[in-house]
Amino acid sequence: MRILKPLWLLLLLAVALVFPLLFPNPTVTTMMIFALLFAAIATGWNIISGYTGYVALGHTAFFGIGAYALALMCQDWHIPGGYEPFYLIPVAGLVVLPISAFFGWIALRVRRHTFIVITIAMFFVVQLLAYNLRFITNGSTGLSLPLPTDWSGDFYNIPFYYVTLLLLLISLAVSWWIRNSKFGLGLLAIRDDEDRAMGLGVRTNASKLAAFIISAVIVGMAGAIWAYFVESIYPASTFDPNFDVAMALMAFLGGLGTLSGPVLGALIVELAQQYFTIQYGQNGYYLIVYGALFLIVIIFMPRGIIPTARDLWRKYRVARSQQVIEVNLATTPAASKGASTDTEKKEGINL
């Protein structure tokens, strides 16, 4: 098992790398780009909301700020279409950083439900600003990004695919690193009992803010990629409250606070949504599917797919190992006697 796991991951990575070569159809690659983009977003969102339990429903604000940051940089610095805008994606992340620090500093003063409400309010403040700061955002007319005219229709999606995949891999690496760091341990402690964590010396305020900023920057960079991919951005499409719900739903579906959960959730939800949109047009059937999915998750696996599956697998293995022991008991009575006294000794004191 130990050797199998990395092998599986390498295999998955290999599949992800050759995917656009195997399925060059632009419709398919577009679907995958959106799926990977949301996987990165959900992974980023999970760093604050999954690890610390602070459910943020305003991260679309950072998504939109990242998108507008890239659009404005391209516009003001006259960046031509091509590979250059990709280099500016980290810069868009840097633009999000101080803004998210400011918002996080305010929102993280409160907890639980109040925190959720404050983040929603912040999202709408930013959305209103996008509509009304016309001299920057051009109001509801929106902004256009440079068009990579050299790229043919067949090739167009390929650079976006790999850049999105790279962002997903980076955010997964960051998430994995945090989960295994002392900092991450503190975040989990905050999720379970914040005051107690503080009492044991965890720097709760600094940790929460750091997690908030890291997740916002990842979501902001995803927004920048998205903006370049869709070419023109408007307040209505960029600051879409559905995004807020979507990233939360994806993480919940896959498993909040797990590493792979948000990715799995994003792949399922986003691919399903794209499929429905292509099959039935823009009439919003997918919203019904959203609702149905949410209900199924809440009823049958409230902790999400990954934790539920992990539990089932563990139970299966325990059940199997017990069967093996029973078989051994039946065949070798002498050995079984030894085993039972051994367990008694190990039991120590009964609690």
Partner 1 sequence: MSLLAAQGICKAFGGIRALDTCSISVEEGSITGLIGPNGSGKTTMFNVITGYERSDSGQVMFQGQNITNASPAKIFRLGIGRTFQLTRIFPRMTVMENMHVAVQRNDLKGLLSRWSMSHEQQRALELLDFVGLAKLKDDLAGTLSFGQKKLLEFACILIAEPKVILLDEPAGGVNPTMVNYLAERIRTLNQRGITFLVVEHNMEFVMSLCSKVMVMHRGTRIAEGTPAEVRSNPAVLEAYLGD
Closest CA to 256 of 37, 56, 39, 53: 53
**Minimum CB distance to partner 1 smaller for 100 or for 137:** 100
Q: Is there a contact between 79 and 101 (Cβ–Cβ < 8 Å)?
A: no
| Other beta carbons within 10 Å of 341 | 10
Least CB distance to partner 1 at residue 85 (A): 30
In this complex, which beta carbon is closest to partner 1, that of residue 88 or of residue 178?
A: 178
Q: Which is nearer to partner 1, 191 or 272 (CB)?
A: 191
Nearer residue to partner 1 within complex by CB, 65 or 190: 190
CB 149 within 8 A of CB 89: no
Q: What's the token pair of residue 90?
A: 């980290």
Question: Please, what is the minimum distance in Å from the beta carbon of residue 342 to partner 1?
Answer: 13
Residue at token pair 């609702």? 291
For partner 1, give the closer residue by CB, 69 or 189. 189
Q: Cα–Cα distance between 295 and 189 in angstroms, integer?
A: 29
Using DSSP's 3-state secondary structure scheme, residue 224 falls into helix
Q: Which of 150/193 has CB closer to partner 1?
A: 193
Q: Shortest Cβ distance from residue 164 to partner 1 (Å)?
A: 26
Closer by beta carbon to partner 1, 162 or else 191: 191
Alpha-carbon distance values, 65 to 58, 100, 119, 213 (Å): 12, 10, 15, 13
CA dihedral (308, 309, 312, 313) positive or negative:
negative
* One-letter amino acid for residue 106 of the chain: I
Residue with tokens 């959106």: 34
Q: Is 56 helix (H, G, I), strand (E, B) or coil?
A: coil
Find the shortest distance in angstroms from Cβ 93 to partner 1.
18
Min dist. Cβ of residue 262 to partner 1 (A)? 17
Q: Which CB atom, from 58 or from 261, has the smaller least distance to partner 1? A: 261
Classified as helix, coil or strand, 30 is helix
Reported residue count of the chain is: 351
Of 101 and 185, the one with the shorter C-beta distance to partner 1 is: 185
Task: Using the Cα atoms of residue 56, residue 292, residue 303 and residue 114 in order, give the sign of their dihedral.
Answer: positive
Contact 238, 176 (CB under 8 A): no
Looking at residue 130, its amino acid is A
Sign of the CA dihedral with 63 first, then 68, 69, and 74 last = positive
Angle at 280 between CA 274 and CA 284, to 5 degrees: 70
| Cβ 192 to partner 1 shortest distance, Å | 4
Residue numbers of the site for partner 1 (CB under 8 A)?
180-186, 188-189, 191-193, 195-203, 207, 210, 346, 348-351
At residue 266, what is the residue type? A
- Distance in Å, CB of 76 to partner 1, minimum: 34
CB of 308 to partner 1, least distance (A): 14
Q: How far is the CB of 149 from partner 1 (least distance, A)?
A: 43
